[in-house]
Amino acid sequence: MTAPTPTPTPAPPYGYVSPIPVRRAHLGDALASEWTKIRSVRSTVWTLGTMVLLMLVIGLGVGAVAASEGGGMSEDSALPLGFFGMLPASICVITLGVLTISSEYGTGMIRTTLTACPSRSRVLTAKAIVFFLLVFTVTLVVAFGVATAQVAMVDAAEPTGAEWARATVGAAGFMALLGLLSMAVGALVRHSAGAITVMIGVLLLPLVAALFMFSPALKGLQEALFTYSVPSQLISLYSARPPFGDSGPAGWETLLILAGATAVGLGGAFALLNKRDV
Partner 1 sequence: MIEAVGLTKRYGAKTAVYNLSFQVRPGVVTGFLGPNGSGKSTTMRMILGLDTPTSGHVTIGGHPFRRLPNAPRQVGALLDAKAVHGGRSARNHLLSLAQLAGIPARRVDEVLGVVGLQDVAKRRSKGFSLGMGQRLGIAAALLGDPQVLLFDEPVNGLDPEGILWVRNLMKKLASEGRTVFVSSHLMSEMALTADHLIVIGRGQLLSDMPVKQFISANSADFARVRTPEGEPALRDKLSGVLVEAGGRVLSEPDGALRVTGLPLPRISDLAHGADVRLWELSPHQASLEEAYMRLTQGAVDYRSTDDKLAHLQAPPQPGQPGYGMPPGPSAPADAPQQGWYAPPPPGQNPYAAPQPPAAPAAPAPAAAPRPSLQKKPSDTTEDAR
Q: CB 114 → partner 1: shortest distance, Å?
A: 6
Q: Which of 65, 84, 76 lies closest to 143, judged by CA?
A: 84
Considering the complex, state which of residue 18 and residue 68 has its C-beta at the smaller distance from partner 1.
Answer: 18
Contact 242, 176 (CB under 8 A): no
Contact 120, 272 (CB under 8 A): no
Q: CB 125 → partner 1: shortest distance, Å?
A: 13
Considering the complex, state which of residue 22 and residue 217 has its C-beta at the smaller distance from partner 1.
Answer: 22
Considering the complex, state which of residue 42 and residue 241 has its C-beta at the smaller distance from partner 1.
Answer: 42
The three-point CA angle 107-112-116 to 5° equals: 155
Q: How many CB atoms lie within 10 A of CB 28?
A: 9
Q: CB 74 → partner 1: shortest distance, Å?
A: 50
Considering the complex, state which of residue 140 and residue 273 has its C-beta at the smaller distance from partner 1.
Answer: 273
Q: How far apart are CA 73 and CA 35, in angstroms?
A: 43
Considering the complex, state which of residue 123 and residue 167 has its C-beta at the smaller distance from partner 1.
Answer: 123
Q: CB 45 → partner 1: shortest distance, Å?
A: 10
Q: CB 266 → partner 1: shortest distance, Å?
A: 20
Considering the complex, state which of residue 67 and residue 129 has its C-beta at the smaller distance from partner 1.
Answer: 129
Contact 167, 159 (CB under 8 A): yes
Q: How far apart are CA 104 and CA 100, in angstroms?
A: 7
Considering the complex, state which of residue 74 and residue 112 has its C-beta at the smaller distance from partner 1.
Answer: 112
Query: Contact residues for partner 1 (CB under 8 A)?
Result: 1-4, 6-7, 9, 12-20, 22-26, 29-30, 32-34, 36-37, 40-43, 103-104, 107-109, 111-119, 123, 277-278
Contact 44, 122 (CB under 8 A): no
Q: CB 117 → partner 1: shortest distance, Å?
A: 5
Q: How far apart are CA 249 and CA 243, in angstroms?
A: 9
Contact 155, 67 (CB under 8 A): yes
Q: How many CB atoms lie within 10 A of CB 16?
A: 6
Q: CB 22 → partner 1: shortest distance, Å?
A: 5
Considering the complex, state which of residue 3 and residue 217 has its C-beta at the smaller distance from partner 1.
Answer: 3
Q: CB 51 → partner 1: shortest distance, Å?
A: 19
DSSP structural state of residue 217: G
Contact 171, 150 (CB under 8 A): no
Contact 48, 92 (CB under 8 A): yes
